[in-house]
Amino acid sequence: MIRKIVFYPDPVLRKPAAPVTDATAEVRALAEDMIETMYDAEGVGLAAPQIGVSLQLAVVDVSHDEECISYLRVNGEDATLGDICPLVFMNPELELLGDKEVESEGCLSFPDLRGEIIRPFEVKATLQTLDGKTIVIETDGLFARAMQHETDHLFGKLFIDRMSSARKLAIKRQLKEMQAEFG
């Protein structure tokens, strides 16, 4: 089922989400809805708070572009995006690695807004899966960026928080318009 995406400045986007303690049938159904909603919105990731649910649950799928990464290891073994995506994960812990890079990012909770965001190029992510396993993913590129972006959502941090002061000033009017329309 496609869910309604919550737009800035909805307070759920700023609230740190609760850890998922059990992958119940309800959590599994929510994950399926999130995947469907992400695809419908043509996104590469979606966090539960973005559909109004304050849980540490997110989905990411960048498998449409195998070239967007230079490596991927799952539990120390080489893997492909097709092996792991769509990735559904809970309660993430990220170790940010490598040089930082500036890339343009958007967010489904901020329609028509993009910004240059500085993030580490690589990540080592310890994640819980719906089948109760803990996995470690090591990767770079867009996959690493998407996991960082969605994990930020789970802790109440938004991509606008990572924009430069100059860019924040430049989008001030757009944010006020969003507050008026969606607030």
Question: What does the pLDDT look like over 59-73, one tens digit per residue?
Answer: 999 999 999 999 999
Longest dimension (CA), the chain: 49
Q: What is the structure's pLDDT at 9?
A: 96
Token pair recorded at residue 28: 């599994």
- Return mean pLDDT, the chain: 96
Percent of the chain with pLDDT over 90: 94
181 is catalytic: no
User: If you ran DSSP here, which 8-state letter would residue 83 be given?
Assistant: H
Fold observed for domain 11-182 = Peptide Deformylase (3.90.45)
Cis peptide before 120 (omega within 30 of 0): no
> 115-142 pLDDT, tens per residue?
999 999 999 999 999 999 999 999 999 9
pTM: 0.96
Nearest to 90 by CA among 179, 12, 161, 28: 28
- Domain residue extents for the chain: 11-182
Q: How confident is the model at residue 183 (pLDDT cuts 50, 70, 90)?
A: confident
> 59-116 pLDDT, tens per residue?
999 999 999 999 999 999 999 999 999 999 999 999 999 999 999 999 999 998 999 9
- Distance of alpha carbon 22 from alpha carbon 154, whole angstroms: 17
Q: What is the structure's pLDDT at 92?
A: 98
- Distance of alpha carbon 84 from alpha carbon 67, whole angstroms: 15
User: If you ran DSSP here, which 8-state letter would residue 70 be given?
Assistant: S
Catalytic residue of the set 67, 77, 150, 177 = 150
Q: What is the structure's pLDDT at 149?
A: 98
